[in-house]
Amino acid sequence: MLARNGRRIGAALLLAIIAYLAAGLVGGSLPSNPDWRQPTSGIPIFLEDNGIHTDLVLPKRAGNIDLSDLAPAGDLRDPRFARHGWLAIGWGETAFFLDTPTWADLRPSTLLFAAVGSNRTLLHIEHIAEPQDDPATGVRRVVLRPQEYARLVAFVRMSLKPGGRAYPGNDRHDAFYEAQGRYDLMNTCNAWTGRALRQAGVRVGRWTPFPVTVMGWF
């Protein structure tokens, strides 16, 4: 009896995982802002994908927008990294970010907690040099019109929790900041990236829970 119930539970979990994966791929294949096309000139940004998580990479200064206040030099372990001209920005669950400095530190309990859902979220901001467009390494260059870039930056700023706490980064060039929003299977780090691009007016999937559902559009 117990073995039969265990098999049923296992089968139900497998079906749920398959259904989630299928729904995510379908949602990621349906375009929002379908008429959008990259302009021939404008403000370049980058998208980075490490296979699990996607980041927006934005210039600190472009047009009339200055992002140097997002992660002040004093928040870094080594303030010299603030000389770099670009910020890599990602959103995610607090325990996942703070307790997983490397993938070797990832624990099943951390994944389970994030999947169930958490109201504790962070923005991870890194000071980096300008990336190189290279799909083989998960880096894509995207050009935005000034008004699109302004909407993207507004979304990023709105993601920060007003008066929120800053946390030391996992390296010398990064820091974490309390953010707004609930993390769960429907609202993942990659869904946040996709939502930022949609708000900017960029063509991307309607729901982007996985890296491929973001990066596949560029």
Rounded CA gap, 188 and 118, in Å?
11
| Average pLDDT value for residue range 125-132 | 97
| Average pLDDT value for residue range 158-180 | 96
Neighbouring C-beta atoms of residue 91, cutoff 10 Å: 29
pLDDT above 90 (res 111): no
175: left (phi over 0), alpha (psi -120 to 50) or beta: beta
> What local confidence, expressed as pLDDT, does residue 164 receive?
95
pTM of the complete model: 0.90
| Average pLDDT value for residue range 136-160 | 97
> What local confidence, expressed as pLDDT, does residue 185 receive?
92
Rounded CA gap, 114 and 39, in Å?
37
What are the residues whose beta carbons fall under 8 Å from the beta carbon of 2, sequence distance 6 or more? none
Q: Where are the domains of the chain?
A: 2-215
Q: DSSP 3-state assignment of 26?
A: helix
> Does residue 53 or residue 11 have the better pLDDT?
53
At 13, which helix (H) or strand (E)? helix 2-29
> What local confidence, expressed as pLDDT, does residue 63 receive?
87
> What local confidence, expressed as pLDDT, does residue 94 receive?
93
pLDDT above 70 (res 110): no
